[in-house]
Amino acid sequence: MTEPDTIGITVTASGAAADAIDRHLPGLVEAGFAGKLFDQDPTLWGEAAQEEAAKRLSWVGLARSSRPLVGEISALREDLRGKGVDHVVLCGMGGSSLAPEVICATAGVPLTVLDSSQPDMVRAALRDRLDSTVVVVSSKSGSTVETDSQRRAYEQAFRDAGIDPAERIVVVTDPGSPLDGEAREAGYRVINADPDVGGRYSALTAFGLVPSGLAGADIERLLDEAEAITDLLADDDTSNPGLRLGAALGGTEPLRDKIVLIDAGTQITGFGDWAEQLIAESTGKDGTGLLPVVVGSAADGPQTDDETWVLLMPSDDDESEDNATSASSDGTGGESTVGVSGALGAQLLLWEVATAVAGRLLGINPFDQPDVESAKQAARDLLGGGSGAADEPAFVDGDIQVRAAGGDWLGDASTVSDALRRLIDQLGPTGYLAVMAYLDRIADSALADTRVPLATSLGRPVTFGWGPRFLHSTGQYHKGGRPEGVYLQITTEPREDLAVPGRDFTFGEFVSAQAGGDAKVLADHGRPVLRLHLTAHDAGLAQLTRAISEVSGNGAGAR
């Protein structure tokens, strides 16, 4: 068992974040929040949240209750490796895939995460080492269409290659879900997860542990790290790092609702994407919430007065307070800075507690995601033949069709650059730009590099999300949080479309419906959405990259 002092958890703060801790910590301690949370008291977030919270709090005890999975997963891994099956693919969305991604990246073990419906990305995954592949299909609800479609595609690919899918598919789902029944009928290996844990709090359930353990991560150590901090997090004391972090995030006044997460330079790789979903989907609702902006380094974003900067620190760094302070005083961190260090297993639990605390301070239910469903429904309507937001392009410029939704703001723009400038003109003084790219996040990864010049030029926060992945993360905030975002949606004609076996739509039709559905819901909320569709992938992407660099390079739209 890893001892607490080797976990190295510290939470330090300066500026508005430190003030928030001073303001809220005594009240949280006096209310016995931590003890009640670990006793799974569902009343902590008010009456409206009580019913949901009553079936969502088992995560507090997972460091202990998940122990039996370790042996089971290890035996399965050995069995598969004995058969030459050593390439692990994870099909799943949001809370069913983001934890294994950070766990495996931190452990330095390869895991292929397929969390997309973009046909080129799905086809690329299907072509990769099928002979030695085991596919973990993870879905709590057992009804997420992306995951169901990915499973169908792998089943078909295995059959086409003469491989019995039952030998290569492992299903993780809640007991009694539609997938649970179907998978058992098909003879698949099924591992049920604890149903009293929500998707984004499920890092230490079978959802986090099965793919990570099969890929070779040390999941026992992960549980040790979480167990080592459990008592500290359950303690109603001002030193409780979960209470401190939660107060720093959710208790600033006025609320600093943009949380800039800087996760580079620690032993944890890719933590930001996991924390982004936990925070955005848990808090972004009822017109409030916290929008995480994941950036590589402290130099990668403008500093504004409505941000708190959260820096992940190396866990063995006992100078972390100085680091946090210097990040503030050298002008890179603003006047609200938090430094967090600790081993990954401990941090997973720490941030879950902090999110529960922030939810209480924000007065929202941190366990539901009401606005994700609206986009899913709009996508279903479109697949069923309904009409979306701005079906007809306003104009075509080279290899890009341009559509505008959510108001009459495009004016007489006739080029992609003009349209981008018009969108940026819609930004208010506290607004943000969200880039939402429904492309292949591996093959097209360079597009994400446009985030930094855009943010620098705009002087406002810019988030970058890959569709449909972000729909299960910041997607909740964009629709449910403060209505001040402007949205750049990028879609592409696939190089080659792919049928979803057994369904009457293709992956291309599905991803297009997802983008159209989300644009429609954002537009219905009165938010401006610029939709750029690449009619030829390579040429369109090159044209788009030039246009973004033109707009950011000359500072157009800067305020």
Ligand X SMILES: O=P(O)(O)OC[C@H]1O[C@](O)(CO)[C@@H](O)[C@@H]1O
β-strands 307-313, 336-341 pairing: parallel
Give the whole-angstrom CA distance, residue 70 versus residue 53.
27
DSSP 3-state of 424: helix
Dihedral sign (CA 282, 484, 21, 344): positive
CB of 146 to ligand X, least distance (A): 8
Q: Which is nearer to ligand X, 8 or 211 (CB)?
A: 211
Q: Are 149 and 121 in contact (CB under 8 A)?
A: no
- Span interacting with ligand X, options 57-65, 139-147, 347-355, 432-440, rule CB under 6 A: 139-147
Task: Kindly give the interhelix angle for 241-250 and 219-233, rounded to the nearest 10 degrees.
Answer: 80
Tell me, rounded to whole angstroms, the distance of Cα 305 from its chain centroid. Answer: 24
Q: Which is nearer to ligand X, 123 or 140 (CB)?
A: 140
- Of 7, 93, 219, 356, the residue at the interface with ligand X (CB under 6 A) is 93
Amino acid letter at 394? A
- Span interacting with ligand X, options 38-46, 94-102, 252-260, 446-454, rule CB under 6 A: 94-102
Of 116, 114, 106, nearest to 89 (Cα)? 114
- Any contact of residue 117 with ligand X (CB under 6 A)? no
Number of chain positions touching ligand X (CB under 6 A): 15
- Any contact of residue 200 with ligand X (CB under 6 A)? yes
- Distance from the first to the final alpha carbon of the chain: 52
Q: Are 308 and 338 in contact (CB under 8 A)?
A: yes
- Any contact of residue 144 with ligand X (CB under 6 A)? yes
- Any contact of residue 94 with ligand X (CB under 6 A)? yes
CB of 173 to ligand X, least distance (A): 8
Instruction: Write the binding mask 335 to 374 for ligand X: x where contact by CB under 6 A, - elsewhere.
Output: ----------------------------------x--x--
CB of 535 to ligand X, least distance (A): 30
- Span interacting with ligand X, options 7-15, 93-101, 186-194, 505-513, rule CB under 6 A: 93-101
What is the token pair recorded at 509? 């039709």
- Any contact of residue 377 with ligand X (CB under 6 A)? no
Amino acid letter at 427? L
Looking from the CA of 105 toward its CB, the CA atoms found within 13 Å total 19
Give the whole-angstrom CA distance, residue 183 versus residue 173.
10
Q: Which is nearer to ligand X, 199 or 250 (CB)?
A: 199
DSSP assignment of 230-244 equals HHHHT--STT-HHHH
Q: Which is nearer to ligand X, 33 or 510 (CB)?
A: 510
Dihedral sign (CA 439, 546, 262, 269): positive
Beta-carbon contacts of 394 under 8 Å, excluding residues fewer than 6 positions away, are: 402, 403, 404, 410, 413
CB of 198 to ligand X, least distance (A): 7
Q: Considering only residues 32 through 61, tell me which ones interact with ligand X, judged by CB under 6 A.
A: none
Q: Which is nearer to ligand X, 200 or 285 (CB)?
A: 200
- Span interacting with ligand X, options 134-142, 286-294, 437-445, 507-515, rule CB under 6 A: 134-142
- Of 257, 281, 307, 371, the residue at the interface with ligand X (CB under 6 A) is 281
Q: Which residues of this protein are in contact with ligand X, per CB under 6 A? A: 93-96, 139-141, 144, 147, 199-200, 281, 369, 372, 472
